[in-house]
Every structure is written in structure tokens, then in C-alpha cells.
């Protein structure tokens, strides 16, 4: 279960005549006619574009939101990006990627603009600071961190980070999180009562599986179907001061445990599959009350993590069990 985040819609400051026409009584056609009379067709085009963008953001249709930016100038794109929070920027980045995804699952990025929108998002992210990010754990290549955003008796939201200390000593061009999860009953046994069919074939005997939806073709966290509640920011060499980032918002209904292990993994570069530490986290529910687990930081992923990653790849390479024709293998984790 995920909590819907409230989205504050940014608004431009139109001329008074424009504002009266846009917000006055009457149906949309009547208001558009009033706009045309008071400010001309260009104003109508701007209002419609703004409404389409606002609706796409409000309803978390990030591919549509990315496409709405395609016809705007760099200045107008940056104005809209400035109204998004960090989570929404990550979701929009995913929409930009989905916009250019081919039938074979290959990423081409917003092809209409030759990746201009993607690059503007990258540039905008460089101006954002991550002041709430405490480095909770150090590994040989960098820093791991986490922020518990909130927790209640229905679930929790957490953000995880990894940042290379010296990018020149990391061979990756991109690093993103891979996460495994499992649920346990109150007696400590593996809870598979409500297990989704698509994840059953990649679940290990200890109950662990890669955290991905049925529509996901990638085992890297949050690479498809992003929302502001479940997002990812890979680390990019071109923006080396911005950490690798993910946000998760799991729910829990009955008494028991939810456990997770997230690992920053080299997604592209000279040593794909290279792990850069491990973060363990989760929550327990007893008598209807949720308690979050202490976050743990380790130098390398667990054997359970490697087994779950191998199970994902085994599923992806089995035509009879893979969740989609385009399900991609994970590089060997090491």
C-alpha cells in the first residue's frame, strides 16, 4: 500500500484580464472564448499547455508530463521543473525514459527532443541540495545514508542514498539501487499467503525476491511505473555530486515483519554488477502497532541478496516463467 502524496500545483501570474477569463464562471469553451478575446490565441495555447502539465503531475502520469515539456523552451521547462519536489523530479525522469522506450525495451530517451528534456532535468538536479541526507554508513567506495520520512500503523516511507567518495576510483557511469524484500508472519515463518503470481517464480526458499512490479522489465528498482511514492535517481558520472537515491513506501496490514535489503549496483560501466555496499531496513507490526527497524549498513550484499538476484535472472531467461518478453537479466552481483 502506498500513500498518495499531495501535489502543489505551481501557477504562473497571468495578466488580470487573463486571470478573470480563466477563472470566471462558465464552461471551459466559454472561458476559452473569453481568453481569445482578451489575450489572443497564444494565451489560450499557453493555458491549455499549463493545464495539461498540471493534470499530468497531479495524477502522476509522468510519461505524459514529460511529453508536455517537449514543445516548450528551456526557460519554460525549467520554470515547471522548479515547481516539483525531489520525488517528482525522479518520477518525471522515469517518464522521460518511458517516453522513448522502444518495443524491445531499449531506452532511447525523449526522442522527439533528442534527450533535451532529460538533460534539463539533470541540470536542474545539480542545483538541488540534499540537506536532509545524513551519511549513516561508510563503505570503501563512498557513503551510504537513509532518511525515515514517516511511519504509522499502516506502513512507512524511507529514502536511501549512496554517493561515491571519489568518482575517479569508481568505474561506473551509472549506479542504481536493486532491492530485495520479504514478509514474515507473526510466528516468524515466511508469509506467502498474498504473494503475487509474477513474483512466486523468483522467490527464494527464504522468502526473498527482487522488488519489482509485474510490468517491470528491469530488476533495478523503480525503472518503470514510477510515482512520487516509489522512485529512483541513479548516480551519473556526469552529475557526480548527486547521490544515487531511492524512495519506498511499503504498507503492512496484519501483524508480522517486512524486511528489505537495498544495494547500489553498477548499472553501466566497466564492471557492471559491482555492488557498493548494502542497506537493510524494515518494520514490524505487533498488536496493530508498527515499529521501524534500525537501518543497517554493510560493505557488501548478503548471500540472500545474491540468491534473489540470481532467481530474477533465472526467471528472465525462462520463456515459460518470465513476466514479460522483455524481462532483462541482472548483471552478476559481486
Residue 290 has pLDDT above 70, yes or no: yes
| Distance in angstroms (rounded) separating the CA atoms of residues 103 and 101 | 7
C-alpha torsion sign, points 215, 281, 251, 205: positive
**Mean pLDDT lowest for which of 240-244, 285-289, 300-304?**
240-244
Residue 228 pLDDT grade (very low, low, confident, very high; cuts 50, 70, 90): low
Share of the chain above pLDDT 70, in %: 78
Residue 41 has pLDDT above 60, yes or no: no
Are residues 297 and 263 in contact, defined by beta-carbon separation less than 8 angstroms? no
- For residue range 81-117, list pLDDT tens digits in order: 988 876 678 778 878 877 876 666 666 788 888 889 9
Model-level pTM greater than 0.85?
no
Query: Do the strands 209-210 and 235-236 form a parallel or antiparallel pair, or are they unpaired?
Result: unpaired
In angstroms, the Cα distances linking 317 to 296, 307, 323 are 32, 15, 10
Nearest residue to 119 (alpha-carbon basis) of 79, 82, 77: 77
| Distance in angstroms (rounded) separating the CA atoms of residues 29 and 45 | 13
**pLDDT: which is higher, 104 or 6:** 104
Nearest residue to 243 (alpha-carbon basis) of 93, 120, 133, 88: 133
Q: Which long-range contacts (CB under 8 A, 24 or more apart) does 117-124 make?
A: 117/66, 117/69, 117/70, 117/77, 118/93, 120/69, 120/74, 120/77, 120/78, 120/81, 121/81, 121/89, 121/92, 121/93, 121/96, 122/236, 122/238, 122/239, 124/78, 124/81, 124/82, 124/89
| Distance in angstroms (rounded) separating the CA atoms of residues 117 and 279 | 32
Mean residue pLDDT of the chain comes to 81
| Distance in angstroms (rounded) separating the CA atoms of residues 202 and 316 | 9
User: The cell 555530486 sits on which residue?
Assistant: 241
**pLDDT: which is higher, 14 or 324:** 324
Q: What is the pLDDT of residue 36?
A: 53
Q: What is the pLDDT of residue 279?
A: 97
**pLDDT: which is higher, 96 or 74:** 74
Q: What is the pLDDT of residue 4?
A: 30
Highest mean pLDDT: which range of 41-45, 81-85, 91-95, 142-146: 142-146
User: The cell 515539456 sits on which residue?
Assistant: 69
Question: Which residues are CB-contacts of 294 (< 8 A; sequence separation ≥ 6)?
Answer: none
DSSP state of 222: T
CA 131 to chain centre: 19
Q: What is the pLDDT of residue 246?
A: 92
- For residue range 168-204, list pLDDT tens digits in order: 889 999 999 999 999 999 999 999 887 888 888 899 9
| Distance in angstroms (rounded) separating the CA atoms of residues 98 and 107 | 8
Amino acid at each position: 500500500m502506498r500513500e498518495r502524496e499531495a501535489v502543489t500545483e505551481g501557477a504562473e501570474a497571468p495578466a488580470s484580464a487573463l486571470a478573470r477569463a480563466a477563472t470566471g464562471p462558465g464552461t471551459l469553451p466559454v472561458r476559452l472564448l473569453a481568453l481569445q478575446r482578451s489575450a489572443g490565441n497564444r494565451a489560450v495555447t499557453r493555458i491549455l499547455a499549463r493545464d495539461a502539465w498540471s493534470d499530468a503531475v497531479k495524477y502522476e502520469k509522468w510519461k505524459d508530463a514529460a511529453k508536455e515539456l517537449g514543445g516548450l523552451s528551456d526557460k519554460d521547462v525549467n520554470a515547471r521543473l522548479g515547481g516539483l519536489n525531489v520525488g517528482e523530479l525522479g518520477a518525471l525522469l522515469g517518464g522521460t525514459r518511458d517516453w522513448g522506450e522502444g518495443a524491445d525495451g531499449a531506452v532511447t530517451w525523449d526522442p522527439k527532443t533528442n534527450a533535451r528534456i532529460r538533460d534539463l532535468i539533470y541540470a536542474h538536479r545539480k542545483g538541488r541540495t540534499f540537506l536532509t541526507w545524513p551519511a549513516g554508513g561508510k563503505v570503501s567506495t563512498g557513503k551510504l545514508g537513509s532518511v525515515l520520512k514517516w511511519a504509522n500503523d499502516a506502513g512507512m516511507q524511507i529514502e536511501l542514498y549512496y554517493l561515491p567518495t571519489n568518482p575517479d576510483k569508481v568505474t561506473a557511469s551509472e549506479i542504481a539501487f536493486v532491492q530485495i524484500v520479504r514478509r514474515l508472519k507473526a510466528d516468524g515463518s515466511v508469509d506467502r499467503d498474498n504473494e503475487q503470481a509474477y513474483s512466486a517464480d523468483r522467490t527464494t526458499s527464504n522468502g526473498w525476491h527482487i522488488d519489482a512490479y509485474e510490468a517491470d522489465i528491469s530488476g533495478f528498482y523503480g525503472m518503470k511505473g514510477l510515482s512520487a511514492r516509489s522512485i529512483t535517481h541513479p548516480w551519473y558520472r556526469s552529475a557526480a555530486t548527486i547521490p544515487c537515491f531511492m524512495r519506498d513506501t511499503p504498507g503492512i496490514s496484519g501483524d508480522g515483519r517486512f524486511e528489505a535489503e537495498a544495494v547500489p549496483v553498477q548499472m553501466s560501466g566497466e564492471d557492471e554488477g559491482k555492488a557498493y555496499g548494502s542497506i537493510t531496513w524494515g518494520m514490524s507490526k505487533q498488536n496493530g502497532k508498527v515499529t521501524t527497524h534500525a537501518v543497517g549498513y554493510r560493505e557488501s550484499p548478503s548471500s540472500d541478496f545474491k540468491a534473489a538476484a540470481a532467481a530474477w535472472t533465472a526467471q528472465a531467461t525462462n520463456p515459460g516463467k518470465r513476466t514479460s518478453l522483455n524481462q532483462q537479466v541482472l548483471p552478476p552481483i559481486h
